[in-house]
Amino acid sequence: YGVRPRMSEQEALSRCPEAHFAPAQMDRDAEVLLHILEVLSQHTEHIEPITRPQAPVFLIEMPVQRRIDLIEVAQQMGSQVRAISHQTPAIAIAPTVFTAKTVASTLQSGYVRYITPEQTVEMLSHYPLNVLPLSDGTINRMHRLGINTVGHFADLPSKTIFTQFGREGQVAYDLAHGRDR
């Protein structure tokens, strides 16, 4: 929706009317995050917090491989997190970190989304370019060339990416194709 950190609440609501704002309570939030980490650690030893406490996102590596088991574990974790924090998480299960983070960031609270490797490129194709790790200058250049979504970018011939957009373009192109180192 274009909501960014340090944006005024009024501006954020104009871009995303259904947004819910909760004032930060640092002590309570830190305690809730510790409880959430305890819940996650019951399911895996590989937990990586990748955002600030104000908007927690955790990437976890699960040893479970069956789709139904992954969804069940995600639902259980979601219920436990909701009981502890009174917040309903959105959970994405995907073959790459980038795909999981991107999809989870746009899911409605309470939803679990499972993305197979075959669905990754199609799933990412509708997102705007700003989800990719590209500089503003590169994104503006792409817009001038008529490239407005991850899908438009992914459709470009691979041979032209490095020469046109350099190293950052190559990294972004790999992410757009579901390849995440």
Buried b (16+ CB within 10 A) or exposed e, 140-170: eebeeeebebbbbbbebeeeebeeebeeebe
The reported pTM is 0.67
Tokens linked to 57: 């996102």
Query: Does residue 72 sit in helix, strand or coil?
Result: helix
Q: Per this entry, what is the length of the chain?
A: 181
Give the pLDDT score at 106.
85
Round to whole Å and give the CA distance between 60 and 1. 26
Query: Does residue 160 sit in helix, strand or coil?
Result: helix
Q: For the chain, how far is it from start to end, CA to CA, in angstroms?
A: 27
Site of tokens 């060339």? 145
Site of tokens 């639902």? 75
Encode the chain (181 residues) as per-residue pLDDT tens digits: 566 666 777 887 787 777 777 666 667 767 777 777 777 777 666 666 555 545 566 666 666 567 777 788 778 877 877 787 777 788 888 888 889 888 888 888 888 888 888 999 999 999 999 999 999 999 999 999 999 999 999 999 999 999 999 999 999 999 999 998 7
